[in-house]
Amino acid sequence: MYFTSPTMGQVSFQELFENLVAYTNEYPDDNYKLIIGTDSHSFLNESVIFVTAVVVHRIGKGGRFFYHKQKTRYMESLRQRIYYETFLSLEVATRLTEQLAQSSDCHLNVEIHLDVGEKGETRDIIKEVVGMVIGSGYEARIKPYSFGATTVADRFTK
């Protein structure tokens, strides 16, 4: 699985992780959040583009992000797309959590940002996807606090 960084270009998952560790070690006394969010966009009933963003946010001082883009078959059901977005975010979060557990250099809590909110079509599945995330051991954020999915990932779905 490869990710794209606006400044570094295409990087492997291991390179992404090493970059996160190096970034947090630059200023180890600062506070950080590791945010993962996925958004999708369907095209002409033919395919769906899913983008998963990994954001390391140095609270109050900016951050860095990476994204992974993949194209899949068309999914007619919005519920199915949102579930798949959540699955993709959890998949990346699990891999990062495994690496973090093995690293003594970096301690980050992971937040999953979901593309669901109280307004709109997705309001009926908030409890379900938030439950998936919390049940997996992560914090969940929904709109309007889920910028990892609704801003960063969304930017690269078009």
- DSSP per residue over 79-138, as a string? HHHHHHHHHHHHHHHHHHHHHHHH-SS----EEEE-S--SSSGGGGGHHHHHHHHHHTT-
- Cβ-contact 67, 51 below 8 angstroms: yes
pLDDT band at 109; cut points 50, 70, 90: confident
pLDDT tens profile 47-90: 999 999 999 999 999 999 999 999 999 998 999 999 999 999 99
Count the domains in the chain.
1
Q: Pairing mode, if any, of strands 47-58 and 110-113? A: unpaired
DSSP code, position 105 = S
pLDDT tens profile 21-43: 999 999 999 999 999 999 999 98
Please tell me whether the overall predicted TM-score, pTM, comes out greater than 0.85 for this model: yes
- Check pLDDT > 80 for residue 107: no
- Check pLDDT > 90 for residue 5: yes
- Check pLDDT > 90 for residue 104: no
- Cβ-contact 88, 100 below 8 angstroms: no
Show the domain range for 99.
Answer: 2-155
